[in-house]
Amino acid sequence: MSKKNVAVIPGDGIGPEVIKATLEVLEQAAPGEFDFQEVAMGGNAIDKYGEPLPEFSLKTCQNSQATLLGAVGGAKWDNQPPENRPEKGLLKLRAGLKVFANIRPAKIFASLASACPLRKDIAEKGIDFIIIRELIGGIYFGKHETFKTSENERAARDVMEYSESEIRRIAHVAFKTAMSRRKIVTSVDKANVLTTSRLWREIVEDVSKEYPEVKLNHLYVDNASMQLIKIPSDFDVIVTENMFGDILSDEASQITGSIGMIPSASLGENNCGLYEPIHGSAPDIAGQDKANPIGTILAGAMMLRYSFNMNKEADKIENAVDKVLTDGFRTADIYTEGQGLKLISGSQMKNEIIKAVKHA
């Protein structure tokens, strides 16, 4: 049986720590199934090759069945010219893999309800929604420029543009996802101000006609940011454009606990997905064995599910994470004193999850 090819990008800061943990967990859940190939990207690639995503790195990812990414970036590379910053590598990777749909689950683990910063009565209603963010269009990919308006004055502009087909394909992902869940789609835009949003709303309405069982709501992004903390239990599938999705999904991550807990999958037409935690390289805790590896480990489980249809193995990993949390093990970011919890390091968390997978 040939092994499944997975490109692995450890990246910078805590990236290599959380990736190492995830590869060990994947090996425990599906022994001998994967051929992992390490790929240079981010600040480390700038140091070694002068650019954040060398062409050969992108090629390896494009030729793999899936790509697993830790995180990139750090203060050391903050003074790079904008086109050579680590984050540019990330945008180039997403565009190069043509992954247009970013899927971020926001689900509260019952054992972590106390880490939810919302009022108890709100958290207790349950939080389980998915944000589907358009990933390779909109303002992050439009023309960026700084220009002179007079001798002494500069101005800058970033162009937000969406085509009908870009909106249509992400809307289909949202409605299909909703069909396997509670059948509610909330489309988030700023149609009272933005022309792109008005087109967005029109196309989403049009696509919704193909999914008569799914209930469609529209919210302006400012209202959506309020409703997410007021009545999170009402949401099932949220679909939105790139920048709004970037902001709302970070808000959602805080509702469900720590940024270190949340995975994401980015999918294209052919399921050649990119899987990563939603956090960055966390330079403040890098190299101290404090990083919570759960977000990346759950991204590994999403990879099993979405790219390889290995649902049994994905379940094993997700159940193992649930068990370890229920048993009271916590990394510092999700630890609360005085509740009888056990504070452990990132590698100890990984070991506990491996033990739980073994006995699953």
Positions marked active-site: 140, 190, 222, 246, 250
User: Closest separation between CB of residue 266 and ligand NAD, Å?
Assistant: 11
Amino acid (1-letter code) at residue 360: A
Measured at the CA of 241, the angle between CA 235 and CA 205, to 5 degrees, comes to 70
Other beta carbons within 10 angstroms of residue 54's beta carbon come to 18
Of 246, 318, 333, 352, which one interacts with ligand NAD (CB under 6 A)?
A: 333
User: Closest separation between CB of residue 174 and ligand NAD, Å?
Assistant: 22
Nearer to ligand NAD, 171 or 291 (CB): 291
**Residue among 194, 173, 250, 188 nearest 220 (CA):** 188
Nearer to ligand NAD, 46 or 207 (CB): 46
Q: Which long-range contacts (CB under 8 A, 24 or more apart) does 62-65 make?
A: 62/96, 62/97, 62/272, 63/5, 64/5, 64/6, 64/7, 64/37, 64/272, 65/4, 65/5, 65/6, 65/272, 65/307, 65/308
Helix (H/G/I), strand (E/B), else coil: 186: strand
Helix (H/G/I), strand (E/B), else coil: 120: helix
Nearer to ligand NAD, 52 or 138 (CB): 52
User: Closest separation between CB of residue 314 and ligand NAD, Å?
Assistant: 20
Return d(Cα 190, Cα 196) in angstroms, integer: 9
Nearer to ligand NAD, 283 or 328 (CB): 283
Q: What is the 3-state secondary structure (H, E, C) of 233-272?
A: HHCCEEEECHHHHHHHHHHHHHHCCCHHHCEEEEECCCCC
Of 280, 316, 349, 353, which one interacts with ligand NAD (CB under 6 A)?
A: 280
Nearer to ligand NAD, 224 or 282 (CB): 282
User: Closest separation between CB of residue 14 and ligand NAD, Å?
Assistant: 6
Of 260, 263, 273, 300, which one interacts with ligand NAD (CB under 6 A)?
A: 260
Task: List the x/- string, 288-317, binding to ligand NAD by CB under 6 A.
Answer: ---xx--x----------------------
User: Closest separation between CB of residue 330 and ligand NAD, Å?
Assistant: 11
Please list the residues that pair with 8 across neighbouring strands: 38, 68
Check residue 323 for interaction with ligand NAD (CB under 6 A).
no
Residues 56-115 that bind ligand NAD (CB under 6 A): 71-74, 87, 90
User: Closest separation between CB of residue 273 and ligand NAD, Å?
Assistant: 15
Beta 184-189 vs 237-240: how paired, if at all?
Answer: parallel
Closest residue to ligand NAD in the complex (CB): 280
Where does this chain bind ligand NAD (CB under 6 A)?
14, 18, 71-74, 87, 90, 259-260, 276, 279-285, 291-292, 295, 333
